[in-house]
Amino acid sequence: MIGLIKNLLQTEQPANKAERFERAQVAICALLLEIAHSDGHYHAVEARVVHDLLADKFKMSAEMVAELVDYAHEERTESLDLFQFAREINAHFSREEKLDVMEGFWQVIYADGKMDKHEDALARQLAQLLRLSHKDVIDRKVKVINEMRSSG
């Protein structure tokens, strides 16, 4: 009986999305969405990359990813700046994990096959906010470009 009660309590879903998602998950998703929207277009291929990155990173179902994206989009549009999201990532992620996040940014940027000046400027801003070295950021950019060339 005790085991059944514990199991019910552990599987209970949080009452709202703010409780359901970790703040770092929302922060990463919001920044991925910011990158995806930075060129003025949110292409289906960018949306797919964002969803795939989140599903892989957080081991979420497609439904949970969709909820996270919806919630992070609300948070992003209500936000005054990107610092609050970067601060959350800086607080919870190692340098290597932040570089993985940056690699995800590059994957979204190059999902449509090109990088425009707004995406480039935002990538540089995010690299600074995440306290990443220029060399490391460029290494991840080159990695993404090389993977795209070898797969396409």
Note the pLDDT tens digit of each residue in 22-57.
Answer: 999 999 999 999 999 998 888 899 999 999 999 999
Q: How far apart are the first and last CA of the chain?
A: 56
**pTM for this one?**
0.84
Q: What is the domain class of 21-151 according to CATH?
A: mainly alpha
pLDDT value at residue 77? 92
**Number of Cβ atoms within 10 Å of the Cβ of 135:** 8
| Helix 23-37 / helix 62-78 crossing angle, nearest 10 deg | 70
